[in-house]
A and B are shown apart, each in its own frame.
Chain A
Amino acid sequence: MGSNRSPGSHTVASEAVTGWIFDVKRFAVHDGPGVRTVLFFKGCPLRCAWCHNPESISRNVQIMFHPQRCIACLACVEACPHGAQQVTPDGERWLDRSRCELDRRCVEVCYAGALEVVGRRVSVDDVLAQVREDASFYATSGGGVTLSGGEPLLQPEFATAVLRQCKAEEFHTALDTCGQVRWKAFEQALPFVDLVLYDVKHMSAERHKHLTGASSRLILDNLRKLGDHGVPIEIRMVIVPTINDGREFIEAAGEFLGSLHTIEAVRLLPYHRLAGSKYLGLGQANTMPEVETPSLAHMQQIAGRLSAHGLKVIAPD
């Protein structure tokens, strides 16, 4: 593919490019075809209230606390040179994040694994080493690598370098994006992308701004351009009751998506509220709307509406 034609010097340099990720999920299914290795990039331009990966939002490294693993040994308190790990008068440890300098000493001494650094800098080489280990799964399943996050294209150089190297080694690539990035970032990455997984949250510019902190304009513009570009696209919609499950939105989305040519499928994902512990562990306020997971019947109904626009819809059954 295109990567083979890149100047040699460029390729060598790109392997040394580094970026920030917070997780690698292996044997992932439903994130593109076959069995996949999913790289979670750190940092996201949107602030969706229902985000279930709150650790993906900030571009900075964070300390995550897992209370159920803590054995209250207080080694962290002893180790912290900045007095950020503290003991309350009633003997409980807590983290004063305002004092934390992120030097990780507490994590180092927490053998229980109750303190975790979220976010690590990795090179393209590091990433590929892991990807290659799973290559036999791709071969038997038609799978490959998926960049997710966070927003991979917030780190366009790194994302592109990873994608380029994956294609050079003939791995299938998928890019999971929220779309809130400059078109230029897409242009850079697209030559090395086999499938785009594109999140659609709301159609109305205002509602979108209200829900995610950004208007839907750029996102929908980019999606239209992707449609013209010709790369296969799978749309992903997290259905959050009362927020984006109304008839009006679904119809508008159906109409818009139906007008694009390269949408392979629309995947409906039911909202869930299982990420509360993550917010707590990061010391952040839980912003997840207090609504229930949509019922199967409801998901089916939405699927029916969308497929009326000539779309292939994948919904839980």
Chain B
Amino acid sequence: MVVATAAAETEQVKAVWGTAEAEQVWGTFEGNRDHLFAQFRETSFDPDSGLSLEALERAVETYLAAHADLPKVVQKAHAFRLVVTRGQIAVDPLDWFADKLNHGHILRRLVQKRWLDEATRGPIAEGAAWLKRAREIGIAAAPTGGLDLGHISPGWENMLAGGLTGLIREASLARAALGEGATEGQLAFYDAVEIVYAAAVAFAGRLARQAERMMPAHRPHEARLRAIASACRQVPAHRPRTFREALQFAWLMHELIEMEGENVRSMGHFDRVMYPYYRADVDAGRLTREQAKELIKFFWFKWYSRTRGRSNGKNFVFAGQHADGSVLVNDLTYLALDAYEELNTPDPKLSIRVTPETPDALFARVADLVRKGHNSFVLMNDVPAVAALVKRGKSIEDARTYLPIGCYEPAVDGKEAACTMNVTVNLAKPLELALHDGVDPLSGDKAGPRTGDPRQFARFDALLDAYFTQLDFILTRIHGHIQEAERAWPQINPSPLIAGTIDDCLARGKDVGEGGPRYNSVGFVGAGLANACDSLLALKRVVFDERRYRLDEVLEAMSSNFEGREPMRLYLRNRVPKWGNGEPDADAMARVIADHYCQKVHSFRNGRGGACQAALFTLTAALSLGRVTGATPDGRKAHESLAPGVGAAYGVDKNGVTGLVSSVTKLDFSETPNGSVLDVTLHPTAVRGDDGLCAFVSLMKTFFQRGGYAVQFNVFDADTLRDAQRHPERYESLQIRVTGWSVYFNALSKEEQDQYIRRIAYGF
């Protein structure tokens, strides 16, 4: 792809960027950092630029009341139009990117508080109530009503390629192609698409005029204001002429789509999609590397200024491969990583895709950043990720362009509505149900089918069968409710703004919620694999094989949270092999559970005609679902967290990272199309120096060579150790290392621990 090669276009660009102004506008990020940090908290909207929030809200309400008979998608489009064309705006002369609109989340409230509410009290009331209760008692966590409106990525390339005017053209061509055969619904969708894109272009035009109006009063910043005005006339209406315009485009659309009611969880494949714009600028001498880096900093700092470190999973992905399978890594990859290091913020989140051809230099660069404390990186392995997507019906070329949505859930770039977090299922809960004949012991709810009194089970297999019966029941029930919710989607959150960017919504004349995209999936995330595995294996060993304890003894101990039965709890915890240590029995058990789970999920189709896709990870569900899960036979006490990610339960991974890698890579990640992650905690001295960097890179490469899916590293620090002093149980496997010497942290006396913490804080 070549950009802005036309000489005329280049001239036009030069006219905007005089040489004199270049001296004034660059090198300003650090000096304005504090000011920029406050940009979303202390925005001063120009009162003359539009309606006050109250007036704007009234205008929207009046419109909706008068047009209640229109299709929801058209209502939404007009509401959007009103907000972006009438709301107050602001342009910051110290910022490269214009964006501010005083919208008061009117559209989000419309979706979340009104239309979703109507549905959960109406057509999907039963499912919504069941899912709500399921969350309360720790069966599974799903978004309200069972609809995941928050995990999606727009088609960045589709947007950038011809701008929004290009999409409007595409919409009218598609409409014409359908001709007489177009349904009312399709026509309404096309109307809505045209309304929202025209409105978005108009919004950018307002920002441009605002910038021009401000020039006289902001003489020192005139150059930047002129550049902003020029950019906002070009994008998002048309294809960006420069790297800066491409960033302005992306950020503006992020803001508008979020405002419209979706959470944009992937900002796209940065070094693939943005590279042509960057390359063209640098080659033409319009932009230096240093300047490009500064633009990236202004751009990324927006995410951090908004979240202030409470990360919300806005993902930029790098490297990996192109659609044709050729390895992807370029100058922009490394430049962006430099910018990230200098920014030194936890947001946005960066993911690195890895293929067998990814160069060592990139591994080393990322490893170095992680060990310096930039630990929000996720590394993802293209081999199983692509294979898994292909297995679920995606073409290989499409699969290769996947984007991690939010964390590590892949979706095809610009062609998929993935709903990756549609539900998180507690894999330990079905065991609780199986052990109590379908009753949830903490709540007393009859939550599952009756699978018999487990005390009567003569063989372990009977217990395992009961477990799977409970698990299947839960999955089937959830699947049914999600399907119902999907049918209601068009009435809850029509999304013309994002739909038009995703293939084949325009061609089909269908919104995202109507199955317009080429691929439509629903993610079933399995949480607590380790707890399910360790618990089942513990019962197998102590009750059925060794006959050390009777099942009723164990049940009784569990129901009293092991009160007075500490030796039994410790036997269950310490004397039975645990997932995450490379122990064959535990690894085999985990594999049986994971395989069953994934197969069951993959037997479902979702309500939009797409695949249901399995994942194995937890995010915050480890805590929230664990809190409502009773004591488990792996020795975990009631209400404690489930195991994080796909890894070992807290404190039991006594064979270190090699054991973890050995276990986890025994799973088949071509069966987790919706993702998985292993969290690895590393000792700071293990990754120090050249030896340490080499070891770190080796760890990453080994994990991927052995078929691991995604991995996130945390190099622990003094704070981790202070936490370990407070919660020794969670850190039983934490070893500290001092140049060739190692010992369990818990084995040190308090004094020695303090001494060591001082040492770590000191960087030794």
Contacts and interface: CB of A to CB of B under 8 A. Distances in A.
B575 A137 contact: no
B660 to A, nearest CB: 10
Q: A29, A75, A293 — which one has the most chain B CB atoms within 10 A of its CB?
A: A29
Ranked nearest first, the 4 interchain pairs of A and B with the lowest CB-CB distance are A141-B698, A111-B570, A140-B698, A111-B571
Interface string A125-167: 0000000011011011111000010000000000000000000
B564 to A, nearest CB: 11
Interface in B733-756: 736, 738-743, 746-749, 751-752, 755-756
Interface of A: 25-31, 33-35, 52-53, 66, 68-69, 71, 73, 75, 111-113, 133-134, 136-137, 139-143, 148, 236, 269-270, 272-278, 280-281, 293, 296, 314, 316-317
B223 interface: no
A270 B739 contact: yes
Contacts of A236: 740
Given A29-B692, A33-B691, A75-B567, A52 B741 contact: yes
A274 B694 contact: no
18 contacts: A26-B659, A30-B685, A34-B694, A71-B566, A71-B567, A111-B570, A111-B574, A113-B574, A140-B697, A140-B698, A140-B705, A141-B698, A270-B764, A272-B738, A272-B759, A274-B736, A274-B755, A316-B739
Given A73-B566, A137-B699, A270-B764, A29 B574 contact: no
B738 A276 contact: no
Nearest to A134: B658
A71 B570 contact: yes
B575 A111 contact: yes
Contacts of B687: 29
B553 to A, nearest CB: 15
B582 interface: yes
Contact of B656 (A27, A113, A136, A293): A27
Contacts of B575: 111
Given A270-B739, A274-B738, A277-B752, A34 B695 contact: yes
Nearest to A38: B740
A43 to B, nearest CB: 18
B657 interface: yes
A36 to B, nearest CB: 9
Q: B568, B571, B582, B752 — which one has the most chain A CB atoms within 10 A of its CB?
A: B752
B742 A273 contact: no
Contacts of A29: 685-687, 691-692, 695
A244 B659 CA distance: 38
B760 to A, nearest CB: 12
Contacts of B705: 136, 140
A292 to B, nearest CB: 10
B289 interface: no
B655 interface: yes
Contacts of B691: 29-30, 33-34
A280 B103 CA distance: 66
Contact of A68 (B692, B728, B756): B728
Q: B659, B736, B764 — which one has the most chain A CB atoms within 10 A of its CB?
A: B764
B582 A296 contact: no
A68 B574 contact: no
Given A29-B691, A140-B705, A272-B759, A34 B567 contact: no
Contacts of B759: 272, 293
B701 A140 contact: yes
A141 B574 contact: no
A249 to B, nearest CB: 20
A146 B657 CA distance: 18
Q: A35, A68, A269 — which one has the most chain B CB atoms within 10 A of its CB?
A: A35
A177 to B, nearest CB: 14
B662 interface: yes
A274 B751 CA distance: 9
A118 B692 CA distance: 29
B658 A142 contact: no
A133 B663 CA distance: 11
B725 to A, nearest CB: 11
B764 A111 contact: no
A37 to B, nearest CB: 8
A141 B743 contact: no
B698 A68 contact: no
Contacts of A140: 697-698, 701-702, 705
B738 A68 contact: no
A256 B749 CA distance: 40
B58 interface: no
Contact of A27 (B695, B743, B755, B756): B695
A277 B748 contact: yes
B706 interface: yes
Contacts of B692: 29-30
A68 B742 CA distance: 17
A133 B655 CA distance: 12
Contacts of B582: 133
Contacts of A112: 566-567, 570, 574
Contact of A274 (B566, B659, B689, B752): B752
B699 A27 contact: yes
Interface string B661-704: 01000000000000000000000011101011011011101100
A30 B740 contact: yes
Contact of B702 (A69, A136, A296): A136
Nearest to B658: A26
Contacts of B751: 276
Contacts of A277: 743, 747-749, 752
B755 A137 contact: no
B680 to A, nearest CB: 10
A111 B574 CA distance: 7
Contacts of A66: 747
Q: A28, A52, A111 — which one has the most chain B CB atoms within 10 A of its CB?
A: A111
B567 A73 contact: yes
B740 A31 contact: yes
A181 B375 CA distance: 46
A35 to B, nearest CB: 5
Q: B697, B701, B738, B746 — which one has the most chain A CB atoms within 10 A of its CB?
A: B738
Q: B695, B738, B764 — which one has the most chain A CB atoms within 10 A of its CB?
A: B695
A296 B686 CA distance: 18
A285 to B, nearest CB: 16
Interface in B433-489: none
Q: B570, B728, B739 — which one has the most chain A CB atoms within 10 A of its CB?
A: B739
Interface in B97-117: none
B359 to A, nearest CB: 14
Nearest to B635: A111
Contacts of A28: 740
Contacts of B685: 29-30
A66 B746 CA distance: 9
A236 to B, nearest CB: 8
Q: A30, A66, A143, A270 — which one has the most chain B CB atoms within 10 A of its CB?
A: A30
Contacts of B697: 140-141
A73 to B, nearest CB: 5
A316 B738 CA distance: 11
A133 B662 contact: yes
A226 B304 CA distance: 58
B659 to A, nearest CB: 7
